Structure 1
Amino acid sequence: MLRVKSGDLDKMGLLFERYHRPLFSFLYHMTGKADVSEDLVQNVFYRMLKYRHTFTGEGEFRTWMYHLARNVLNDSVKQNKSRNHEDVHAYADRIDGGTSADAAFEKQQDAESLHKAMAVLSEDHREILVLSRFQELKYEEIAGILNITEGTVKVRVHRALGELKKVFLKNENRRKTHDM
């Protein structure tokens, strides 16, 4: 990013190749909409170019990038006000790993249950889990992105996981009761 900042804009392609998938994953888990997430990724990279002068190189690039991604997401939410999640079935084929039909069906149900549980969580809980579990960022990096202490990140992750477990189990119990 420092080379992009100094005018070597060709390096932006390398950054895109490295980070567009993790950004898409983060934004998809936050919005639940693949097409919206793709647009938001483009907006993040546009802002990286536009605000390249703000990257100092003192912190990690990923922290700065996710901070921009959060701002793009927040701006999008303010503009659209509609936060409907797309049907998980549209994304299930990306989750499946080509196993047997029964295993694939069970995996799809688990993914659907997890997606539904994540959608019920507050935005703060969903965001902290996406960053820590799906994006696999270190607590130190998350603290930089959210402008909080590392200890606060640990507490929030613990609380979010507890809430996710509670919602997931509640949904699973409903599903099993309904299937009987």
Structure 2
Amino acid sequence: MIVQMTKQEFDSLNDEALFHACFKPLILDYKHRMAQENSTMVKVHFYKELTSGQKALFVFHIYYDHVIESEAEFYWWSAYFIAQPKIWSAIKTGLQYFGEGNMFHLLEETESVIKRHNGPSSLEKFVVKREDLQNNKELSESIKPLYSNFNEIANLTIKRISDFIRFNHEDFIKIID
């Protein structure tokens, strides 16, 4: 699942393109496996096959792709991942792996707000709705600045991850001639 590209191609990619290029083969392989058998064991086996860097990239990219869409999506998907402690922990650990303290602290703050507003501790207790923001002014006022901050620092996070990839490309990319 290591991406293969020429040195010229590698050097020509901007931060966002590199971020996506290293993720694409991972998500394609994951979706292919899940289409064959959607089970927890398939997910665990897939994840175990990744390098440490790929694990960190995969979990953050999955989170990013879902929450960037809107304030309601930021709230709902954050709550959904928080309700899965292993996944939520992996996302935060991945940010630490990349040295991304700003986004890590934002996720910690997001978790605190969601838990303060009776966020779920497991999927069995998951009753969060996107409409919760419309129905709970206090919750909405707490989520709004978090989503705004997410949008402000997401590009810096992508840059930091891409810089990490550039200096540790062997975990993500095989340079071919």
TM-score after normalising by structure 2: 0.28
Structure with the higher fraction of residues in strand conformation: 2
What's the TM-score once normalised by structure 1's chain length? 0.27
Higher relative CO (Cα under 8 Å, sequence separation at least 6) belongs to: 2
Rg larger in structure: 1
